[in-house]
Structure 1
């Protein structure tokens, strides 16, 4: 089992002919992702050839794969049966690309682009909720179900399949935690992005991991700013029966300074790493002060 993504997921790449889109399509194919098409209105009818070199655990097969380019997401879905779209387009065009994917009936839309205006994100997130579409991102590394499918920019060779579910605001901390716990492995790892508004929240992922019979433990990585982690703590206390281990980045961040992600700003006592740590611990979550300490806490629980 996994959440949101598995080996049967058929994926299209919006912006496949751009430098980032083509580069990461290559990496996703190497990881065994079932890429069935891409979109570029100006290059419909063409195809791109990729030489697949399998990387990491998965079902990739060495050889050449020809990926067709469609004019619209609707055309791609109609001709391939795709249900997942990953978006590599510039910020100014991201809202239009997301809305197009939602209108085409994609079940999951993963938005890698950073620098998307918050007003745009608020608009397409509300539209996705109205239509029942799962968004991940923007400004995120995407989602990986190791050994099955990898949609986004997460390196596929850090870890293999296992029993841990991971949800993280930070891309690099996602990768580090996957590496730290590579001896155990992951059911699914999601980088939800660090913008003030994102599609999939900590709570969305926690709910899905709680319902997944093959996830035994959840690791949740947050960071300073906002109240997402406090709200997640309330949700865990009321709804999650599986053990949760947490880490909050930013214990040494100075007050009033934006650190890294657009959402990571602290004002007074609200949004501090210490406040988030206390809220999580009050909900029964074991919180590490460093990624390595957090990984060790998870390992101790699973090997007890």
Structure 2
């Protein structure tokens, strides 16, 4: 099985006719994911990459039966695109756009609270269920089907850890890039809940960063339930200076709060095995005792 997406997921692309949209849609279709159309206002009725184009998400849903959307539009327009997909009843929306204004994301979060949509991103590499569905911009060359669930705030580290897992014979059930922005959709807890209920996920890897409260909330959740599966975490930014943002909008440690050390301590206290570097993750997976 998998979480959020699978072989039956039918994807539309908001922004498919742009350069990036064209490239990543073509990649996903070559991988074997089911993409059924694109949305580009004013170009409805035309075709692109041999897929139909629609003027709105609601038209695309009606015409294709789509249940997922990839939002790959410029930052000033990303919030409206996400909200349009939410209002059209799309089940899973993946937004890879970076630098979406936070006041725009506040509007998106309000729309999500009144819906059943699961938003992944923004500033996310996307979601991948190997051999079944790819929605996003992540490479797939090293991905292999298997039993390791990965949820990550870092795209580059996800690719590295995924490659090392596959090389060691540890395929992945689903890899989720939750996004590096302060305000975003699904978080570590959402992913952990889904992985817990997925019978084919046997262990989970969390890739965290400084800033925010994602890791602390994951630790609190793990302490509150009988998770029943090993969890390994890598938290980066141990040597980041206070008050300086390190790449992602959410990777900011302020006056000792949300530091890597703090996050590592609370995760370890929740029974999570801590990997010091990306090179340690595979070895850690095999040594974690299953929580009682």
The TM-score, its normalising length taken from structure 1, stands at 0.92
8 Å CA contact 2:231, 2:288 repeated in 1: no
Q: 1:94 is matched with which residue: 78, 99, 102? A: 78
Q: Counterpart in 1 of 2:120?
A: 136
* Uncovered stretches (5+) of structure 2, i.e. residues with no partner: none
The yes-or-no answer on 1:165 pairing with 2:152 is no
Give, in whole Å, the separation in 2 of the partners of 1:118 and 1:160: 35
The yes-or-no answer on 1:243 pairing with 2:227 is no
Q: Counterpart in 2 of 1:198?
A: 184
SS in structure 1 opposite 2:108?
helix
The yes-or-no answer on 1:264 pairing with 2:248 is no
Q: 290-299 vs 31-40, which deviates more? A: 290-299
Give, in whole Å, the separation in 2 of the partners of 1:284 and 1:212: 20
Offset at residue 33 of structure 1 (A) = 0.8
8 Å CA contact 2:242, 2:254 repeated in 1: yes
State the superposition RMSD in angstroms. Answer: 1.1
Q: 2:138 is matched with which residue: 151, 154, 158? A: 154
The yes-or-no answer on 1:227 pairing with 2:213 is yes
Offset at residue 241 of structure 1 (A) = 2.3
* Uncovered stretches (5+) of structure 1, i.e. residues with no partner: 50-65
8 Å CA contact 1:95, 1:120 repeated in 2: yes
The TM-score, its normalising length taken from structure 2, stands at 0.96
Q: Counterpart in 2 of 1:31?
A: 31
Q: 143-152 vs 121-130, which deviates more? A: 121-130
SS in structure 1 opposite 2:255?
coil
Q: How does 1:3-22 map to 2 (within 5 A)?
A: 3-22=3-22
Offset at residue 301 of structure 1 (A) = 4.4
Offset at residue 256 of structure 1 (A) = 1.2
8 Å CA contact 2:216, 2:267 repeated in 1: yes
Residues 240-298 of structure 1: per-residue CA shift (max 9 Å, x gap): 22110000011111111110111111112211111111100000000011011122201
8 Å CA contact 2:160, 2:278 repeated in 1: yes
Residues 128-170 of structure 1: per-residue CA shift (max 9 Å, x gap): 1211110000000000000101000111121210000000001
Offset at residue 7 of structure 1 (A) = 0.5
After TM superposition, which residue ranges in structure 1, 4 or more long, deviate above 3 angstroms?
A: 299-302
The yes-or-no answer on 1:123 pairing with 2:107 is yes
8 Å CA contact 2:37, 2:53 repeated in 1: yes
SS in structure 2 opposite 1:278?
helix
Give, in whole Å, the separation in 1 of the partners of 2:143 and 2:103: 36
Give, in whole Å, the separation in 2 of the partners of 1:86 and 1:269: 36
Q: Counterpart in 2 of 1:212?
A: 198
SS in structure 1 opposite 2:200?
coil
Q: Counterpart in 2 of 1:184?
A: 170
SS in structure 2 opposite 1:42?
coil
8 Å CA contact 2:273, 2:288 repeated in 1: no
Q: Counterpart in 2 of 1:43?
A: 43
Give, in whole Å, the separation in 2 of the partners of 1:187 and 1:203: 17
